[in-house]
Structure 1
């Protein structure tokens, strides 16, 4: 919400304005409150529209009709002034975030929540259409979420601003990605158009993607009119409903009443306080508290600017989306098909909107009855019997020789050959590197971080890859004075850092075999050019080098020389280096301190290289994993246990032995948990309470029949991603 500006009204009718909520084609929307404390959303008509007599007539009629709309899933009209200098209307302010904000910040909704959403929105449309209105702009930003169900807003005004007389005002009725084909072609739009928009909304809610793509408005409208929707990311059980809503022929779409009744027969409904994941319910409560705490400004005063809602990306730990290999619905669906599916599936006895799903060997999901009113689809600690956690999703078609996994953006990357991208929320394969560009047949260097995905093609050209699509976005051809690139060190959205062999200077010729130097290069992503090149001491080839970027510093270790080095990213100048022990891992930088591990865990001042402390000593259990720091606590594992140290002085806070030992791979540390893999493949993954080290759950799977490979982990934001021998699992956070 934005503060009021000098030109904004302060009082309209019985309502005093508090702040700006937004703007649309009709005008501006304000948060307001009555003298009795009622909070409303006031929509004020634009001055140019207010002067149009035809608009006034339409607006007056639509307001009168909108007063008749009632129902649990709409925000009712409570007041209006159609005759004043600035016409306005007031609706009940819904104390909840929009569906758009929730999906953007928390990811797609779990399947059970989408079913409940479908039923609630269908009921809302049934009420709106029953009053003789057509919404014409149903989209996620016009759907607000509350603990007791969704609320549809902004109905009853679209028709008032439609019409040939107003086409010159620049008003666009509807949103391109959510328009029905008939609306996109300028034809008469009836209730069937809202059903089409409902289908798009449900697809977006279920997988976070638009079924007709994104891009320019003209492109989206063409797709809506001429192309079939991409529903590959929509869970299979929901696909028939969504496809039926998106039929091109309006007459063949189901009615809101048929949808609502079909969902009810499935046993899904909005259970107050329990139809959404607990993370979203918490966000709703915070949003409501923030609005209710706002003070109504005194007359003549301006309100204090208020920060907008603050969300934290979280993990949905209930199944939310299809598994890899799920195919989109074939052919043209029919209204009868959805109704038949609803009647048939309804016989499985799902109740109260609470349904659990289990993974079965063929990769499909089978619904199991859940307890009535069981509530949130997000499992809590008490819902893990025996401390065993279920997987949210599984992908089993990876290369059995690969256990490496990383996450970039919202995509899980399997750096096999060719690489594969999976949707982090569902495990669905979104792309494969085969056919994308020339991936070599052997192992090649790849580097995947939260901000970058780079690889080498067959000609050793450095290639940046879009993690969402697997397609290259730019290439830097290897210059002739470099014999080759040995390995990536680090990368962000500005530059890539690599080790190579060749001329010690950017402009010098290749000195030839036996005379080449090991060099460190920085490649500018935006300019697609080499920024700088520095030769390294000695001719010893680089074997393993791992680095990180922090505050204008490149920090890396080199196993070939057993050194920890810190360089200036602007010119490659060496700030300092320190001898380290064999087996050094990826260093970590936090609060001006560099942490490195090997046979010990050591802390250095980033600015000077001065050793601050050394802690823990290796045993026969092996060296330590790469350090991870969170809120002033450092976490490492050895071959036996996980250790938590005070990052300021190395003092041990807790230590936890792991059954079967740990395999030494990197930990994943989140706000609440520490995740570690077992050296015993059958023991899988352990989740520990970050504060105490107590084991919260253990994940095991019978799908792993090989003893080859080690478990590897990555932080997926919405889940913890675990991989072994080509099997990938999305695991719940704690």
Structure 2
């Protein structure tokens, strides 16, 4: 814990603040206590954001996401001030190590302790799910071991179950190795994803090592999706119970209720947290918190007058160690840098950003006529100037999770929660038209048509001139990725099935049910559809014939392809390939230490091709290779393990990572 500094408040409501636990892009977390000496973790919105309506909504929305979760397994919220003056939320202070700290310092937990941990966490997950939420970030660092048992913290990315369709994002909002395969792939995430995370947590607690490992973050993600967990160090009886939690298929995972029953916590399990070395650690931290709460002269009376306090907002708690503390529930992301729009910047250099303005679950940005549009971290859409990074407009009533599609005439299509499509002017954000489409997911646009998956799972074409549906097709698509050419809409489902529909009528042009192992974003060019997956296949749509097929490269799957200038750029294994479109022959291949994630694809930037590299084991970075030789031109370090989404306007590369947006100069005039 750090001492208070200049500008830090001494008191907020009934709480006297005595130290700083941590800080993030939106706020600071202080250690404080009330006039009875009861400790609290007090989160405060940064003063410079207090007049920003959207930031205030974001601050409260994250608290609201956990307000309905009550029970012994989560941190209680004590009070909050939500209007007037500085906004703050005070939560129960949890004195104890995180599970990660406990295992790192003392080794794996005994079998009986793992059983007690499993039963307690399963019970807490059941409570969270019954409240209509999915935690989405259960990991050892978000579990605090207290004298009264484990507590789950950090509801920063918890979302309602009905609003969790994440497609074509490539975003992995959790620590690699703990997020479920469907979360890694950007697919729909439900309660079963928390069960997968619980399995990974229990494997770590029982063995001291992660169930999924790799030389870099991308390799870990690949193992989660395609590999098998390493449970060799987990005791046999526990391994048999943990294994089903890590099933690839969400439907095959047990429910929290079944997990609680199967692990059969021992009688008087609460004693596990009250005796032995772990209990000694917990008591030492409790003593430290008590000392900070009872320093002479720190007790203050409750402020006079009536304060509007909102009780019951659960936002997690900070964890204070004997020699220091960490804020475990802060928002991620860095402070937003002012827009610079530097001209003549060095290739690969930042021209503006990082701006802490993006929704972590936003799909890749869409660039239209010098405007970059993506999901805003406080909801809706936000648009910035591609050149100068200055905010142009916000649209709070549409959702980025339904995807964004560029339309002719400088328009951006987005959908609201009810399925109505809104066409917004990219330059001003003004709505040009709206049409009822029952859209759950926007797929693609082509000339005078917009294509979407409806709430019933049909594929629907909307005529953008008449604003009326042109046709609706029943398919086996479900969810996945799509691209439109002049004549066809090509779809590849999450399971790899390949479909092509005629644009005029919606009639089926081709269908391959067996597909290609998993889905990717198709590339469509002059009557050819190029799809990744287990193989890289170029299909002539007209007669459903393979022009060429490339088997898995070195046993590794193919990602989503990009076609440009008669060449196909695609990642296989950890290598970015350039292949001839005509026959699939290799032009060059460069190892970029990144695995293919279906929801991302290479971006063309003038004479460069860009993708995400994992060469730095601690960071996902952007890398640019020369299109003719495959030789590296530049690398833009990000310094973050969060997954990275790229978009190009031909001159600049736009990066979305966690909550930040950044523009990088490509070096092309």
TM-score of the superposition, structure 2-length normalised?
0.45
Structure possessing the higher relative contact order (Cα contacts under 8 Å, 6 or more residues apart): 2
**CA radius of gyration, larger in:** 1
TM-score of the superposition, structure 1-length normalised?
0.41
